[in-house]
Amino acid sequence: NTASDAMRTAVGIAPPPASEGQARAVNDLVWGFCVAVVCLGALVGCSLGARVADSLGRRRAILTTTALFLCGTLVEVSAALARSRCADCGPGVGVLLLALGRVLVGVACGATTVVTPIYLGEISPPELRGALGALRDIAPTPEPPPSPPERARATTAAIARGRHRIPALVRRRPA
């Protein structure tokens, strides 16, 4: 993965040549930890999300998780910047900052997963509560993008049918 290689190099854990098997295994383990630690943060965020929503209120809890997303992202970016500023520091500083940023983003993800459906359930009209909750659950589900000609045909057909204002998640994909 090209993006992965660039990010690994930026924080100082680029994979060494295949001939250095032990060093490669350690670097892969460190990178795997940096990638997976977001799930641990999400576990903590899910556990704390309802309490935070009860104490701060739903809207302020969502704003707090947004700020946490921002802080986590800034810490992740600083991982690469710290490595570029201090070449003698080794990979430790970059790895720690990256892992810390990933934990913060994970906590925000987990808390948002809990708080958003509560908030949507409270502000939506009774006849739409179930639909909004279901759409919220499937909204982040990605689907592969269609090829440009297929996308053009689908867009033209949707406009012709007057369905261009309906979210893509609730309309059927063209055959």
Full-model pTM: 0.70
CA distance 96 to 94: 6
CA distance 20 to 163: 57
DSSP letters spanning 32-57: HHHHHHHHHHHHHHHHHHHHHHHHH-
Mean pLDDT value across residues 167-171: 48
90-123 pLDDT, tens digit per residue, is: 567 888 888 999 999 999 999 999 998 888 888 8
pLDDT recorded at residue 165: 47
Q: Where in the chain does DSSP place strands (E)?
A: none
78 vs 140 pLDDT, higher one: 78
pLDDT recorded at residue 171: 46
29-40 pLDDT, tens digit per residue, is: 888 888 899 999
